[in-house]
Structure 1
Amino acid sequence: MGITVRPAQLSDIAELARVLSIAFSDDPLMSWLIRDDVTRARRVAALFTAQARHHFIPLGGAEVACNDANSVVGAALWAPPGHWHVSDSAMLAQLPGLAFAFRRRLLVAARLADRMAAAHPREPHWYLAVIGTLPGVRGQGYGKALLNSRLDRCEAEGVPAYLESSKPDNVPYYERFGYEVTGTLDAAKGGPPLWPMWRTPRGRETRW
């Protein structure tokens, strides 16, 4: 089985968004924000479409993992150092997708994003906003390949990395790659918590 990780192109957006919407179908935070089980997948796909098209792909931070058939089975959205905060112009471009995704809870989502931004580290770093694979390929190394693709660059450049895990079960997985929990973030104000995780570059020997 061959695993290919490559930069995402605009032509990949539909498939990237579909894969991530499936990967996040049981995500506690997405389920809390988008409470309709019937429409959630389509609305989450619209969210990731807007984010990929107007923020992560233009910044060179979107990657996809493909199988032997060259089908996209995983994706990661990273923001490079100094660009984790979405610009006003990019946010305006994303607004139709965000409105479709969150509907009446758009203001709730905006407040959550503001709380996450307030707690976000200011030191330059690579920010892993989203990573996911199709359920059928989990455990086959696609997530690992996606993570190592960007973390190898972090090591080469001596740059830290940061993420917020929305699932406590995923925390030990990220710890294998050198991330450490820095606390618990109640960004949803009574909703599902987040676990901020910071990774200091330590050299190639930490690669898993």
Structure 2
Amino acid sequence: MSTEDGMDPRARTLVRAFGDDAFARWLLPDREHRHRVYREWFTMVLAHTERVGDVISTPDAQAVQVWLPCERELPSMLAEDDMQRLLDLAGPRAQWFRIFGELSARCHPREPHQYLALIGVDPAVQGTGVGTRALGEVLRRWDAAGTAAYLEASSTRSRRLYLRLGFQDRGAPIELPNDGPDLYPMWRPPQD
């Protein structure tokens, strides 16, 4: 799936949704560098997830979900070779990707579940319910399968949305160093 400029529209939506949020600015303060890294990072994430998990998007790619199964091992958003590519792209900021990975891994549940690694909605349609409806459809699928779900909410606003969808806080927030934003680990048992 690509457009005239060669970029997957799903990756474009993820860049638009996350490219300037507090977490992105913490990882990569320079906007031009950040957007260049995010374009490649999200393209690699989508390719890897299509092999090992589920990339679910609306037909117009305005809402994109990246789900990774977690059975025995912690899920990875990237293949091993892609991880090195990401660190090379990040350059001197690579340490922040490593720090996030380590902190996230400490909180990640070990019991079987589906991990919502990313859900992005194009800013042009944020707040219209597009993402909530799309996420609700997938959560009903996991419910029918008796499967729990896990995510890290990247803002208090998204945390409130996930609480309404049946997620619960799971432990203390992940406190990113160097004035980084807090992330909120959240767990959703299967619903009846």
TM-score by length of 2: 0.87
1:89-145 residue CA offsets vs partner (Å, 9 max, x unmatched): 922234214422x22111221122022112100011110010011111123332023
1:73 aligns with 2:67: no
1:26 is matched with 20
Q: Residue 42 of structure 1 aligns to which amino acid in structure 2? A: R
Choose which of 33, 38, 41 in structure 2 pairs with 1:39: 33
Deviation of 1:187 (Å): 4.3
1:11-46 residue CA offsets vs partner (Å, 9 max, x unmatched): 257211111011013321111011002332232121
Choose which of 93, 101, 125 in structure 2 pairs with 1:105: 93
2:160 is matched with 172
1:61 is matched with 54
Contact 2:66 2:119 in 1 (8 A): yes
1:160 is matched with 148
For this pair of structures, how many residues does the alignment match? 186
1:146 is matched with 134
SS in 2 for 1:194: strand
Contact 1:185 1:193 in 2 (8 A): yes
Choose which of 169, 180, 192 in structure 2 pairs with 1:191: 180
Name the CA distance, whole Å, in 2 between partners of 1:188 and 1:156: 39
2:113 is matched with 125
1:15 is matched with 9
Contact 1:112 1:188 in 2 (8 A): no
1:143-176 residue CA offsets vs partner (Å, 9 max, x unmatched): 0232123211211111111100111111111111
Unaligned runs of 5+ in 1: 1-10, 204-208
Name the CA distance, whole Å, in 2 between partners of 1:34 and 1:42: 10
Q: Residue 76 of structure 2 aligns to which amino acid in structure 1? A: V
Contact 1:181 1:195 in 2 (8 A): yes
Name the CA distance, whole Å, in 2 between partners of 1:78 and 1:158: 16
Q: Residue 154 of structure 1 aligns to which amino acid in structure 2? A: W
Alpha-carbon spacing, 1:17–1:122, altered in 2? closer, same or farther (3 Å):
same
Contact 1:47 1:98 in 2 (8 A): no
TM-score by length of 1: 0.81
Unaligned runs of 5+ in 2: none
Q: Comparing 90-99 with 179-188, which one deviates more in the overlay?
A: 90-99
